[in-house]
Structure 1
């Protein structure tokens, strides 16, 4: 169920001017700051009233109110006598209904005839239809409110958050009033449903405007009200998910999705729409409240198209196909920061969901206090969204450990009070097998390099114990790991792959940069001209060369002032990497940033004034974290020469260089010139980045 659009397409509630029809003026009614005086205002919602020149007329009988509402909203089309009678008496018509209707119409004429600027006889019988014609500046609250919702939606799309919030909030305030609460019947119920749709749309628009304005508390309240009023409306739940994600509360965002999924399964027997599944998968990335590359686009940025990656997606699709056929698969996706691991995982998850697979997601956070965090998140999402009690399908021995571990069963117990690992591992394995037996299942875990040793141990156990399950486990991990602990996690994941690789049940997807064709496709789809700031040549090719096709760096250059300027986000990423490598490695890196190519170990170590072992440690740190890369002797045309090193991305070299003080830059350059005669082993065919290597 995809949910109704933000603005329900109910043409009968149009506010356009039609000859012979009163004009509804949502601009005056909802945009005039503090001005509530209208020449004539008809309030249908709540206590029905006609306000004119300081006087107020109320319609006393329920029959008069429903008849008046029907005539007002019919506009120039009018209603037949039978249609009007069916609205007034929705059940069986009384024997004297014809004379009673004439009497009622006469009373309504007394209400509308005194209106200034109107025709002498506003309520007439024309061609067998009753038509109510109101002249002058007449505002009908229903039409003004629904028109304001449409205008607010347009303002939201245009980025005018102030106007969108003001119009949507005032529309919602009016639409909360009941519509003919004392009356029933098909027409009344239809109008209530339409107005309820408009109210939820107004709440969504106001909530999204508040979210974009950074008022997260208000956005959350509005989104909660929208989901409470329309629990089946997926767009309202997506709004709530976005609010919680923006607040950095990914757990609540996941629970909002789970509540929707359970409701759809229990009440409608349906799954969430692909758009909602995509929003769920987007929670894999870092919170929009902050985080490293790979998260949701920043405010004001267009969504990034997915380009290239055909080979990688084909590998993942093949693994999923084998898993769906009953042969468990494990895929490890690796790559440097900003290379697009999370985005690839999202696209793979969307493809699985589109094929009817069960997608369970989790992510490893560096400072988590949740034991076995990614698998707890993945399995808890299955439990929370299951219409039946999933514990009925596991053994009695597994139920209590799962109740104590998974949040959906209550408040989890402290980690120190959890059952022993063999018991806990067996229980989680049973639950995962139950999920995979229900339908083919993909478990997607992002940022596995942050996993705890206990989580890696659990992953290895699950992989060993699920050989015949319709299960595909996909993990992403950085290949440029700054700490020994993270590298140990990588080693554990590699060891978990070995026995599965031999059986053809595991594979690694090593993500590199986008190629030039994909880069050009990305620029074309984004419609950006930012790279026009290149100093010379083909700006797209230059941005590609300087970024090495790294999507994060590439996009930052496209969105900035061109490929010749270091974007602030790239500078922050480089600074974060420098902070993780230590003093000696930083000194070696600074020398490399200033030195002329080619870079050899002896040349940079000598200028950095480091002894051999310290320089080797520093060099290995720079290689591990992906700032430098090695051009091996076997890869050059001179295999007898020592290895040569280069920056993986030229934009990184520039960022390091610009962060240095002028004094340090002059000092390094001076030492390099002094050492050039005796220690430089140059090869003119090697450039700083290796892009022009022969």
Structure 2
């Protein structure tokens, strides 16, 4: 397929009906062909006010384009940050135009003028009117103007080739058409004068010069440029104008320094700036202070300046100082460097600008502008000719500049940063790099301090680790990281933006969403948005893109955070900082409460006496994402919640921290983040609010149970029971009794466990709490099922299932369904067991609960093993392992199942270490029923290996343990592969 943009946008092979937005998106992808066009840029161009559904609408729009243009999907490819139109075998008139222009210029440079004319004629013949003629809008207008400049430059090159081949009429025809659209282009006028003079029309040429001069003086107050004046002098002297005028060639770059870690960006931008005419306009290097923008700009300019034979101009604009340079001063300096006389000091700015533009209009120059303050300081210094280019550095994005290629200068990679320190690759060097935030300026200071020999790396790391003195360590001579950051903070920020930066540091979250800015600025959304824009513009705050919930997120560089923390300590009183932290916490807590309520985890709510519950917080105004997308919101915010909990506990705000932890608890359960969950709970277990403490202890009990730390369970449940009795809260007391019963059950103290379940059930009956009665009966049913009474256990578990169903679909329901299925399988009702597992799996999938899904699959495998379907059991178990990853710690159930399968396969040697591993764990935790299961299997494995002495030793220990537990070996309900391994009938020997 062949595409055209040099005129109306179309596919030339066949007529394809495109809507307005489809045509615009196709044009943007074609103009940027073979490169990624960011989704955000497409959205901002297609919609002046993007709707919330813009990303989905763009996705649908791209899908329609694919269907209409290339059903294979190879033409428009989805990339991580946007879309790429891959031309491959397709054609584009713009690429053909640029290729012909490139060849034409090469022929022109080699004085092969006839070949140059052919190529340039071919290039210009591809135009069918104005580029993007059927598109409107700012992007289309700016792109159309840029392409028009390319067309004019190609026409100028064609006229030069025509002049060299004495085709004066051709020059006049070419130039006249171009001047109709660009009437003050001095290069075209110069070619016209030369063609008129050489075709014997010298008087007409002199008149044309005077006409142009009068217009320039009348409209702009300036004389024609030096090239035109030189041609005019030749006309007055009645001699042929020279082929070229003598020019000054300034080379003003400072000495470049050696750069580390910038090869990739240097290669990319070098290729850009070496692109054949027309040049790419302006390369803008943006980044925070100390990131290395100036060094990068100088090295880049040094690499490419040979492609700009008419000179390299360089100016320091001092945009971060208190006295930025006046653009008029820079223009005068550039004019002198170009050999042109600067205008008098009283001349108007328009006159200066006209002289400057005339001086560089037909030259190929590179302009380097360092440390720009704003668009106004830069705009008039940029070369107007497409033959020239500029490199600009700034801490600001300068969003008002058009036709700019922006590149954010990144921090250094860890490898490069460590090498820069020249201190080896050990842990100390890595720590130093992390504490410097990979910032080149900070690393240079550390490297200089190390080179001085006054300190060693361990001392540097110790000092950098002390946050209150970190910035003191990052100063040497006149290089000072704190001073570099202060230039942006003190020189270019409004008071609200300074306040926002201080408060972000005070709250101590690593990343935060956009709404946070308004919350900490007195709940003023507009003020917060403006202040955040300021901070982003000067790179004191960096955007992180959109998170899982679609929120824009932001972050602070670690050294900026340290600086902001210093200013917060100096400029905010302690009560204001504490109030700010509490306000932010209440906002996160409000959204966490909304997400928690809609998450479907099924955890019983924490309800104290008189209905006391976890505080609900205060969600920010007009922020609905937590209620609409609870899982995605927690995915996006959990790291910030962890940061906030740490900050609150350091400040002694344990009750507020505990509320936030408990509101995040269900999410962490479903996501299987047990280590994170346990760490947060342990941080807040000493909170003074007894209702919150009870909730924390309850959750700690569950984390210990799921981690297999059974020895901790009884103490945690007893602590929970003590708190409930202090509160005189019946429901809380009975819940704690159930958990104490579960702990005693795991420890093999079955009579005591039964008593606790019955005590809880009796108390719940007195309060007519049917849910608590069912829960106590359900856990009693588990005990019965695991000690040889599956039918009685199934009946009690079914009672609890009915109660859970009344509460609606939840994680708890899926867990009890899995437990019920295991119990049904022991009774022989395999069809009902599979049905319960199907329901449990569906629920777990809806919650993306990998932990429950793993339990479901392993339960299916155990059922298959009992049915002697070894292949299915192994297949299911392997699938479950693949789903959680090879690095995950196997559960007790998985170890036991794998050992049983290996034993069935006749691979008892491989089963042995798995069972010994489980045995060690259960001995340590004192889980006697599980220990009995391990001993039975070990006896079977040793028998299968012919090690009868070892088998009888394990068996003897098993008999003693079973007598102590008050159950028989048949109550263990072992699969046949274990009970009869290697001709060893465990049941028979057990009865001896």
State the structure with more CA Rg: 2
TM exceeding 0.5: no
Structure with greater helix percent: 2
Greater relative contact order structure (CA < 8 Å, 6+ sep): 1
Alignment TM-score, normalising by the size of structure 2: 0.24
